[in-house]
């Protein structure tokens, strides 16, 4: 199942008469009885038909751009999109849910997964009411997406969701990626600069049992730059769908910054050109010299909210990876 196939299914349904509901099974492969549907007001919907003897306590609710409901007569749960502006995002979320539940034969498990997922979607489809993020923050997120794209290009279907869950930067954790045995802090800088800014004493601190890497993304941002936050997200979205990953994981992460895929174009005036990615091992010693960093665990209690810069010139011995674009 992909976006093109799903759009062809929508075309087969067409419109629905007033106060009616037209629906079509999403395909012949999905084990749960999953349908796409259109209501008489031309709202796109997603329907999960439950077995005749299955009882659910779900009743649904109305939110800003989405409505969930339960039909006792038809014994189905319906997710209704109230704003066609979000049709593209709705398709992406449907495909993500499809791959999440298509092989689940137990009605209880597929129904619970369906309900928990559509409840998450309500927040994804809310319109951001906050002011736009500044360019510095957008550049940092862009750099993190560049690194996420690199990780996804090296993974497979079994591990794609673990990679997505490792991206913790939007949740304001101490480091931007957190794996089982490795933490990765990402810094995005101008290509003509040799320094990166460390915004707290926690960012390059040591966590017991884990290694620490500093990944530096160098970018240009001038009138020749063409890449944007929206374009980078779309590249990653294609990777996720190709790997049958859960798109809602990255969408939920972006929502922590009041960013939603349908609104990323609002930041198209911030353009970037990726130049390189460099990875530094912060744990090794070279000729008795350690990677320069301040650790909260080694500072006196009186020192708080520390910000500093690291000059990367002369630190090539600590560099373990470099990719030039």
DSSP strand E in the chain: where? 21-25, 33-39, 44-49, 66-71, 76-81, 177-178, 182-190, 195-198, 211-220, 273-281, 285-286, 289-290, 308-311, 319-324
Which is more confidently placed, 41 or 266? 266
Q: Are residues 286 and 146 in the same domain?
A: yes
Domain count, the chain: 2
Which is more confidently placed, 296 or 185? 185
Domain-terminating residue out of 104, 124, 144 = 124
Helical pair 3-13 and 87-101, crossing angle rounded to 10 deg: 110
Q: Are residues 55 and 78 in the same domain?
A: yes
- Across 96-105, 115-124, 250-259, 314-323, the highest mean pLDDT is recorded for 314-323
Could you write out the three-class secondary structure of 171-238?
HCCCCCEECCCEEEEEEEEECCCCEEEECCCCCCCCCCCCEEEEEEEEEECCCCCCECHHHHHHHHHH
- Least reliable range by pLDDT among 61-65, 81-85, 221-225, 280-284: 61-65
Question: Tell me: the pLDDT tens digits for 144-182?
Answer: 999 999 999 999 999 999 999 999 999 999 999 999 999
Q: How far apart are CA 55 and CA 162, in angstroms?
A: 33
Residue 196 is assigned to a structural domain of this protein: yes
Q: Are residues 24 and 159 in the same domain?
A: no
Residue 193 scores a pLDDT above 80 = yes
- pLDDT confidence bin for 260, thresholds 50/70/90: confident
Q: Are residues 279 and 218 in the same domain?
A: yes
Q: Are residues 101 and 143 in the same domain?
A: no
Residue 241 is assigned to a structural domain of this protein: yes
Q: Are residues 168 and 81 in the same domain?
A: no
User: What is the number of other CB atoms lying within 10 angstroms of the CB of residue 137?
Assistant: 12
Q: Are residues 160 and 298 in the same domain?
A: yes
Q: Are 82 and 43 in contact (CB under 8 A)?
A: yes
Mean pLDDT of 131-144: 92
Q: Are residues 302 and 183 in the same domain?
A: yes
**The pair of three-digit structure tokens given for residue 317, joined into one six-digit string:** 């011995």
Residue 129 is assigned to a structural domain of this protein: no
Domain-terminating residue out of 124, 154, 170 = 124
Q: Are residues 141 and 183 in the same domain?
A: yes
Domain-terminating residue out of 84, 105, 124 = 124
Question: Tell me: the pLDDT tens digits for 73-92?
Answer: 999 999 999 988 888 888 88
Question: Tell me: the pLDDT tens digits for 262-275?
Answer: 778 889 999 999 99
Residue 130 is assigned to a structural domain of this protein: no
Residue 244 is assigned to a structural domain of this protein: yes
Residue 153, domain extent: 135-324
Residue 126 scores a pLDDT above 70 = no
- Least reliable range by pLDDT among 124-138, 151-165, 197-211, 260-274: 124-138
Question: Tell me: the pLDDT tens digits for 289-320?
Answer: 999 999 988 898 888 889 999 999 999 999 99
Q: How far apart are CA 121 and CA 96, in angstroms?
A: 11
Q: Are 125 and 86 in contact (CB under 8 A)?
A: yes
Q: Are residues 204 and 151 in the same domain?
A: yes
Q: Are residues 100 and 140 in the same domain?
A: no
- pLDDT confidence bin for 131, thresholds 50/70/90: low
Average pLDDT, the chain: 90
Q: Are residues 275 and 309 in the same domain?
A: yes
Which strand (E) or helix (H) includes residue 5? helix 3-13
**The pair of three-digit structure tokens given for residue 78, joined into one six-digit string:** 């319906």
């Amino acid at each position: 199942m992909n976006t093109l196939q799903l759009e062809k299914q929508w075309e087969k349904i067409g419109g629905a008469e007033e106060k009616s509901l037209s629906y079509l099974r999403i395909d012949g492969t999905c084990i749960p009885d999953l349908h796409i549907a259109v209501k008489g007001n031309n709202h796109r919907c997603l329907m999960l038909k439950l077995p005749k003897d299955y009882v659910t306590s779900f009743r649904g609710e109305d939110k800003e751009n989405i409505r969930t409901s339960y039909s006792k007569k038809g014994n189905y749960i319906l997710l209704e999109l109230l704003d066609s502006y979000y049709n593209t995002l709705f398709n992406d979320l449907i495909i993500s849910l499809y791959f999440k539940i298509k092989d689940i034969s137990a009605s209880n498990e597929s129904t619970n997964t369906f309900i928990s997922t559509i409840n998450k979607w309500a927040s994804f489809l809310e319109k951001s009411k906050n002011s736009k993020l500044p360019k510095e923050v957008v550049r940092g997120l862009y750099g993190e997406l560049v690194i996420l794209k690199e990780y996804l290009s090296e993974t497979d279907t079994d591990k794609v969701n673990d990679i997505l869950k490792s991206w913790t930067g939007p949740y304001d954790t101490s480091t931007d990626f957190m794996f089982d045995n490795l933490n990765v802090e990402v810094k995005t800088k101008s290509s003509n600069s040799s320094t990166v800014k460390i915004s707290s004493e926690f960012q390059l601190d040591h966590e017991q049992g884990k290694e620490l890497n500093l990944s530096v993304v160098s970018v240009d941002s001038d009138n020749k730059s063409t890449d944007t936050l929206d374009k980078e997200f779309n590249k990653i979205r294609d990777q996720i769908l190709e790997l049958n990953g859960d798109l809602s994981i990255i969408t939920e992460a972006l929502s922590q910054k009041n960013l939603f895929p349908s609104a990323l174009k609002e930041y198209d005036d911030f353009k970037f050109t990726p130049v390189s990615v460099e990875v530094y091992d912060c744990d090794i010693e070279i000729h008795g010299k350690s990677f320069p960093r301040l650790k909260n665990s080694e500072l006196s209690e009186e020192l708080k909210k520390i910000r500093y810069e690291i000059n990367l010139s002369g630190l090539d011995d600590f560099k373990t990876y470099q990719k030039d674009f």
